[in-house]
Structure 1
């Protein structure tokens, strides 16, 4: 694989902090890609020579940012829940039980059907600038189905999360203890070979703090890394549990007590906010400003799923974070790139610096601010994933 020099970049977001700017902004910049990695970053006038087979891409003063890192998705599923969305928009409140509808549709789908749909979602992600993404299981809820979802997800990303503890399936409605035992035992053993992470929906209507702790500790014992769905539907123990078990991320964080915020600020646990959920459920948005001012590490992600956030658009997440959650445009872009990388404990993505993976997004705009300033406008002009251009889908 040859070398590519991207030059005449009007505004380059490196996410390598400098002079109080966590986005590490450079103007009139250039980036040299060699193979799958970034080899050099700096002023365009100082760029290495363009000879010797180096392809030069002049971007005409437009902005370049790191590829988005979407650290929370549920992309392997069957069926559709548009009727549920329509009902919510006319007054029906959101509840966790709708997951069981998707479980039934997913169990009925073949591997080829799920694989084809997943491929479509991956293309959709790339077209919108996402180059690194996590995928959870959680729509199978049997040993066989959870294992196949983990296997299918692992075909497209190394960031696979075992979420057998999404909800208790209908057939175990009166046997919760047996289902928790299944998740901690046979299901975990079947899914662990295909997974990096373990997650649990710690929420009223899903799993209690005690059940969640037992499941997470079983996953940790099996070599998986912990994450938590927590504090989405109300105040609860999800954040405290996440900090207690040193979870890498606690996701949603819609309802937080002062103690929750203090616990997060004193930990390495990332608070991953999912504004697409609030957009789709009409719940209150989480207060990102409160978290940032307390010193909490914040990421934003899409939570792409058929029930509560059926969008894969990280540009939309940025716009919502700025408009509804108190973030500045630069904070939101950082959270959607470097923040997501922190939530996945990845040091090879989320920034544009020598040695990092060559994941870059060219915007059809002069600055990253336009991602929030021009919501809904297709601003992703080109995407490089591991140094290879990924053709954007038609707008």
Structure 2
């Protein structure tokens, strides 16, 4: 069965191979096809629907059935390459405290750990499914999910097992912080041994990636050498590498990520010239998480500096209970444009093809013949309305 989607005022493909023959200079580089149509086919139990044809609506082929979007814009579904959706509990009081001047140092993670450990499988499963549905209602079709709120073997394994039910992009983050019970039992060294040994062995079958909170400025996180050990152990176990780096201070995270060939280093709030040069000469994506700065009142990353240096940039939500309890990629796009020096077109690419690159995926983040039909619909004639109508729910994943 094939489906023809017509009534597309502006089709944003994010595909560099599309020759743009019309459209606004403000959307240059987005692979825009005006007054377009898309044909989608395939699907079923064993295969995702795929794009079979794209082009001007007046040239569209026949299909088994059709829908008319009535002049809306269409773009690739957002790729949220950094999230922490497996959690229970509430840390709204922590947010309120920060708004009155309390600093963030990562310690609140232990609060979520306790609530998450106490939650049943059924409770956590319902929470994850609700959060993924909330993301799809805002245009996200691909999401990476980290563990990191279990922080013992049993609960880290459970977190990844549950995450695997909703995404293939699962990340083992046993090295989120050193939990209080581990500090009492045997100290940092013993916990690091656990993360790199028994916990990694148990979690690796359900994970695609390994991550570490590399932040010497936090007493709860890990320094450069500790982070290196975690990442090398994960690499030896066959996992891809990701890094939380340079969030709270200048530190070794970016350099370590580049040296080890990590797919992405995330946050990148405090960067030296050497950090920027290293990223520009590498395949490591700088994933920026502006919702965190919004929620912690830290300085925003300088996206303009990175882009002008030739660094590949992605945008993601970092949806989590402590520093950014938002699942809204449209909000991240608006913040990137308003606060980080990105043009609307750059921000949209970072939220789609940039996120796909951060996950080393070439089947999402673009609209291209033969690829997955992960589409998002904008209730407006142009994708420029996404940062323009900030806070208004005008984007949704197209359910096929």
Per the normalisation by structure 1, the TM-score is: 0.95
Q: 1:7–1:56: 8 Å Cα contact kept in structure 2?
A: yes
* CA distance in structure 2 between the partners assigned to 1:146 and 1:60 by the alignment: 46
- The answer as to whether partners of 1:165 and 1:201 remain within 8 angstroms in 2 is yes
CA RMSD of aligned residues (A): 1.1
Q: In structure 1, which of residues 140, 144, 148 is the aligned counterpart of residue 150 of structure 2? A: 140
> For 1:120 and 1:60, how far apart are their aligned partners in 2?
29
Measure the CA separation in 2 of the matches of 1:56 and 1:112: 38
Residue matched to 1:69: 79
In structure 1, what is the Cα distance between the partners aligned to 2:172 and 2:393?
A: 33
> Structure 2: any 5+ residue segments left out of the alignment?
21-27, 43-48
Q: 1:383 offset after TM fit, Å?
A: 2.3
The more displaced of 23-32 and 296-305 is 23-32
Query: Which of 54, 71, 82 lines up with 1:41 in the alignment?
Result: 54
Q: Match of 1:366, SS? A: coil
* 1:214 matched residue in structure 2: 229
2:200 to 170, 183, 188: 188
Tell me whether 1:176 sits opposite 2:188 in the alignment. yes
- 1:224 aligns with 239
State the 4+ residue runs in structure 1 displaced beyond 4 angstroms: none
Distance across 2 between alignment mates of 1:61 and 1:247: 41
Aligned equivalent of 2:33: 26
**Residue in structure 1 matched with residue 347 of structure 2 by the alignment:** 332
SS across alignment from 1:139:
coil
What pairs with 1:4-153 in structure 2 (closer than 5 Å)? Answer: 4-17=3-16, 18=18, 21-35=28-42, 36-50=49-63, 54-153=64-163
Equivalent pair of 1:358/1:384 in contact (CA under 8 Å) = no
Q: Matched residues in 1 for 2:368 and 2:88: separation?
A: 39
> Using the alignment, how far apart are the partners of 2:175 and 2:147 within structure 1?
9
3-state DSSP class of the match of 1:116?
A: helix
Instruction: Report the alpha carbon displacement of residue 68 of structure 1 after superposing the two structures with TM.
Output: 0.5
The number of residue pairs the alignment matches comes to 381
1:391 alignment partner in structure 2:
none
The answer as to 2:260 corresponding to 1:245 is yes
For residue 201 of structure 2, give the secondary structure of its aligned residue in structure 1: helix
Q: CA deviation at 1:32?
A: 0.5
Gaps in structure 1 of 5+ consecutive residues:
389-395
**Following superposition of structure 1 onto structure 2, how do residues 294-313 of structure 1 map, counting pairs within 5 Å?**
294-313=309-328
Q: Is contact 2:4–2:62 with CA below 8 Å preserved after alignment?
A: no
Q: Distance in 2 between matches of 1:368 and 1:259?
A: 35
Contact 1:5 1:31 in 2 (8 A): yes
